[in-house]
Amino acid sequence: MVRTRASSAGRLDPRWPAGARAGRREPPLRGPGAGMSHDDRIDEATLTVLMDARQPFAYLALGPTIELGRRQGLEVNWLPASVSPLRPPPEIEGNDRSVAHRRNRSRMIAREIAVYAEAQGLTLREYYREGGWSALAQGILFVREQAPVALEAFLQATFAAYWAVELDPEDVGAVAKFVGGHGADAAAFVEWASNDGPAVADRIADSLRTRGLSGAPAYLVAGEYFQGRQHQPMIEWLLEGQEGPGPI
């Protein structure tokens, strides 16, 4: 996909929307998440990556992106994003050109997913599931604050469970088991997700929208925004200071 330049908007703290910065303060956070910053950290991060567990190409990008960060010796700034689900092939039969095109494109996308999943040893089932993922998105933000060293392992475990159809990403209790298994407080997460969690997730999402950032997987590096895992060679080249010829 085509890369675009990120918005030049200044740093936004998702705890305080635009109106709050103008003088209207929101109530402070309370409960188990009150001591955590919940900042999007985009302005401080060398590499920010947006992910949505429900997007198969995001799962395919997860492992290679983790490896990219390790090669470069940097901490990736992982943030949850929300994207539209894959569209299934049209059920309408016939020779209509547009229907045939959509059907063929859907089949090619499914084949691409299958090929790359097999190459990485990943299991992906039911590509066209619909539904939200609010609990898991909040889980990412919670582990990001409470147990950052375990966040990438948490992402790998939860994405794998989702694509094995073993995790409902809207089930707070189910997500809490993964939270507790990765160094964070499961009970505190359940309480937080029942109180401040949804508002914090909304503020992060609002911050991304204000900056003009969307998509998953998507990457923000050196002031440039890239959508799609195919841009990883360019991203690594930018991280290495653009030494030598750029990848074409």
Q: What percent of the chain has pLDDT over 70?
A: 83
Pair 227, 3: CB distance under 8 Å: yes
Could you tell me the pTM of the whole model?
A: 0.82
Give the mean pLDDT of the chain: 85
- The amino acid at residue 207 is S
Task: Provide CB contacts within 8 A for 119, sequence distance 6+.
Answer: none
Would you place residue 102 in the very low, low, confident or very high pLDDT band (cuts 50, 70, 90)?
confident
User: Does residue 31 belong to any structural domain of this protein?
Assistant: no
Q: pLDDT band at 93, cuts 50/70/90? A: low
Amino acid at 55: Q
pLDDT of residue 1 exceeding 90, the answer is no
Q: What is the mean pLDDT of residues 53-59?
A: 97
Mind listing the pLDDT tens digit for each residue in 124-136?
Answer: 999 999 999 999 9
- Give the range among 24-28, 107-111, 179-183 with minimum mean pLDDT: 24-28
Residue 246 located in a structural domain: no
116 part of a folded domain: no
Q: How many structural domains comprise the chain? A: 1
The answer, yes or no, to whether residue 91 has pLDDT greater than 90, is no
Cα dist from 201 to 33, 79, 168, 215, whole Å: 12, 10, 18, 16
Q: Which helix (H) or strand (E) holds 226?
A: strand 224-227
Q: What is the mean pLDDT of residues 201-212?
A: 94
- Could you tell me the CATH number of the domain that includes residue 163? 3.40.30.10
Per the CB < 8 A criterion, the answer to whether 50 and 227 are in contact is: no
* Residue, of 13 and 100, whose pLDDT is higher: 100
Q: What is the pLDDT of residues 161-183, one digit of tens each?
A: 999 999 999 999 999 999 999 99
Residue 3 has pLDDT above 50, yes or no: no
pLDDT at 5: 42
In this predicted structure, what is the pLDDT of residue 25? 33
Please answer whether residues 55 and 155 qualify as being in contact, where contact means their C-beta atoms are separated by less than 8 angstroms.
Answer: no
Structure tokens belonging to residue 18: 């635009």
> Residue 32, CB half-sphere, CA atoms under 13 Å: how many?
18
What is the token pair recorded at 97?
């050109």
Which residue is it, tokens 């470069």? 72
pLDDT for 18 equals 32
- Domain assignment present for residue 92? The answer is no
Q: Is the pLDDT of residue 214 over 60?
A: yes
Structure tokens at 8: 């030049």
Domain that holds residue 227: 54-85+129-239
Does the residue 204 lie in any domain? yes
Report CA Rg, the chain. 19
At 68, phi and psi to the nearest 5? -60, -45
Q: Residue 105 contacts by C-beta under 8 Å, 6 or more apart in sequence?
A: none
Q: Does residue 104 form part of some domain? A: no
- Burial class of residue 160 (count of CB atoms within 10 Å of its CB; 0-12, 13-18, 19+): middle
Asked, for residue 67, whether it belongs to a domain, the answer is yes
